[in-house]
Structure 1
């Protein structure tokens, strides 16, 4: 039920952001794309929606490729399937995130790319699912992924994401996700 409800909320948020895309189409736009993600880990799943803003910078431009990047702001819902290590007990929490992301891509910003980022996340509750625990609301979220941007401005990608507080407070077993992303660029 949680997943279906959050998937509908995610779809509504992405649809609303896409409907408002005309206001972001000006040259001085703040938001460059909207996205939705589905992620799955060990006895946990997540749905997330977000917006990005390109840095409009390029480094190491050579042979039609470049290193660039963007800011990523997101909100996600987590659904743990084994709260306090009790199978069938759910833990639901929210995650607000902000991440700078570096992307190695074609200078046209189309086609295949590889990216990596590390950002900050605030969880609504302390995570305690299966044998994994996070002892702080504040978490770092790092990811690495690959994807493809189509000529019609749609993007698909897959990435691995890890959440941890960096070890500054125990327990900190971390949480890992496999993530699928669909985005639309204005």
Structure 2
């Protein structure tokens, strides 16, 4: 991808980031950081803004199913594509098991969408399109009054789902921390 082609994408991502920061103040219940590593020696760091649906989608005796929304702004360092920016949204289903008044475990999964500023990660890896789907599976733990603290780990696969070839995709192993302000 030429530098001239990258500039409009970066401008769009910068605009999205500013909207993210402004809307996030009004919408987000919690903010967090995500770090991890992936294919092609990629490293990632990002900011997550999230909010939960007030009532569970399903309530069992010991478990319940919740819906969470997250917006993420990520920055990748890939040896052949440094300064790659990722912006995306994910609706997340969480199967939650309370452990007491102030603790709970959960497993989570999602199919979200992403926009990337670069598509060529190396001479062997080409994502072909700036638009990507983000499949995620994870586990986590929450503690404190109102479960204010959350830590977790996630496996994420990004792919354009065959919209355009090649469709090499990228995989990341991530760890994250979130703090609930409301």
Q: Give TM-score, length-normalised by structure 2.
A: 0.77
Match of 1:34 among 31, 39, 49: 31
What's the CA shift string for 1:88-144, capped at 9, x where partnerless? xx5321000111000001366831100001111000122322622100000011100
In 1, the alpha carbon distance for the partners of 2:52 and 2:111 equals 16
Q: Does structure 1 conserve the Cα–Cα contact (< 8 Å) formed by 2:102 and 2:143?
A: no
Instruction: Answer 1 or 2: which has greater helix percent.
Output: 2
Structure 1 unaligned runs (5+)? 1-16, 18-23, 84-89
* Equivalent pairs, count: 153
2:113 equivalent to 1:116: no
What's 1:12 paired with? none
What's 1:64 paired with? 62
Secondary structure at 2:67 match in 1 = strand
Structure 1 runs of 4+ with >4 Å offset: none
How far off is 1:56 after superposition?
1.5
Q: Give TM-score, length-normalised by structure 1.
A: 0.76
Q: Does structure 2 conserve the Cα–Cα contact (< 8 Å) formed by 1:39 and 1:177?
A: yes
Secondary structure at 1:102 match in 2 = strand
Q: Does structure 2 conserve the Cα–Cα contact (< 8 Å) formed by 1:41 and 1:177?
A: yes
What's 1:94 paired with? 85
In 2, the alpha carbon distance for the partners of 1:126 and 1:134 equals 5
How far off is 1:151 after superposition?
1.6
Secondary structure at 2:83 match in 1 = strand
How far off is 1:58 after superposition?
1.1
What's the CA shift string for 1:10-31, capped at 9, x where partnerless? xxxxxxx9xxxxxx7xxxx631
Structure 2 unaligned runs (5+)? 1-20
